Amino acid sequence: MRTVLISGAGVAGLSLAYWLRQYGFHPTLIERAPAFRSSGQAVDIRGAAREVVARMGLLDEVRAAHTGARGIAWLNERGRRVAEMTADAFGDSGGVIADLEILRNDLVRILHHAAAADIEYGTEITGLTEESDGIRATFTHGPARKFDVVVGADGIRSGVRSLVFGPESVRDLGYHLGYFPARTRLALDGWEVVYNLPAGNGVGGRIVMLYPLGASGDCRVLIGFTSPEPISPRANPAAVITEAFAGAGWEIPALLDQLTDDLYFSRAGEVRLTEWHRGRTALLGDSAFGGSLGMGTSLAIVGAYVLAGELSTMDDPRAAFARYTDEMRDYVAANRKRPPGRASGFAPRTRNGIRLRNAVMRALPHLPGRQRMLGGLQRSANAITLKPYPALRL
């Protein structure tokens, strides 16, 4: 058992490719996107995932690419700061943002270099057929090929999951999110800022977050809104966002003027599966346990370490997949618990709701039981003991 097909060249897929190469496997990475995506949000690396990154020898490089975020602040309707929380207010991994934050594309770039993996861009798996000595995959481009193992690391709308596990298994969370790069005239001084609007323009509560990148004025924008039904997949995302935020104040008009094709837009969802493997195919990252709050990147990194380690210890991939599931199940469950409020806390529908949420965030750092109110992230991010897998074979 040596050849592994990985669908998805994001954090999960590249982390898995890195560890598999250390154990002497030959991973093949495919990615449905036509090229490396330069946009994306800031992501946190929390708890046990930091130990995995350290074992990869990448922790210093990741820290050097830190966004510089010092904390997060909530603004009122006049754009004035009314609540704030430092990155270490709940431990290094337990706050709304962690004290180790990096742009997703920077993390993918670091992992790509470390994995030394070639990526076949612009292709997807169209079929998977189990055979006695492997699994045959067909693709949108090129001939069919046989592998010992296939791993779906292709996100919350996983194509591999659909092929192997059947009908869609994603629970809708009731909101859309978009991410895009921009510049701002605001002097953020390392603080992420959150600005909310009540329901309007045919959608529910609305939110804009700015992630500063140093002191240059460059930033990443998260923009989103709640809505009971998904937007049509045929709709133009930029037009949808512009319409939803038409007439908004604060910095929003200037940010909307910077919407380009470098926009990632999606409907939030949570994957619901009773198993993460079937035959010679396994799922990893968001394709298996997507939908956590603030832990998606860390779960992908830890899951890749565990999956590769278990594959390295036994010849039967099915047995390795079962061990991977046993190792990860409780950790994933602990990190999928959501704090009170859900979407209403993220994007309240009314002005009074926004004011109440801001008041809660202002008081939260001083309340007893505050860790539980944020889902106990500091504890759950560390809720796994990483096994020392056998010595590397290379």
Query: Secondary structure of the chain in the HEC alphabet?
Result: CCEEEEECCCHHHHHHHHHHHHCCCEEEEEECCCCCCCCCCEEECCCHHHHHHHHCCCHHHHHHCECCCCEEEEECCCCCEEEEEECCECECCCCCCCCCEEEHHHHHHHHHHHHCCCEEECCCEEEEEEECCEEEEEECCCCCEEECEEEECCCCCCHHHHHHHCCCCEEEEEEEEEEEEEECCCCCCCEEEEEEECCECCECCEEEEEEECCCCCEEEEEEEEECCCCCCCCCCHHHHHHHHCCCCCCCHHHHHCCCCCCCEEEEEEEECCCCCEECCEEECCHHHHCCCCCCHHHHHHHHHHHHHHHHHHCCCHHHHHHHHHHHHHHHHHHCCCCCCCHHHHHCCCCHHHHHHHHHHHHHHHHCCCHHHHCCCHHHHCCCCCCCCCCCCCC
d(CA 216, CA 212): 9
Would you state the pLDDT for residue 67?
87
Would you state the pLDDT for residue 375?
57
Q: Which residues of the chain have pLDDT under 50?
A: 394
pTM: predicted TM-score of the whole model, two decimal places: 0.92
Would you state the pLDDT for residue 39?
64
pLDDT single digits (tens) 61-84:
999 998 888 899 999 999 999 999
Residue boundaries of the structural domains of the chain = 3-39+49-66+101-170+270-338
Q: Which CATH class is domain 3-39+49-66+101-170+270-338?
A: alpha beta
> Which residue, among 151, 103, 98, 99, has the nearest Cα to 125 in the 3D structure?
151
pLDDT single digits (tens) 18-45:
999 999 999 999 999 888 776 678 899 9
Would you state the pLDDT for residue 233?
78
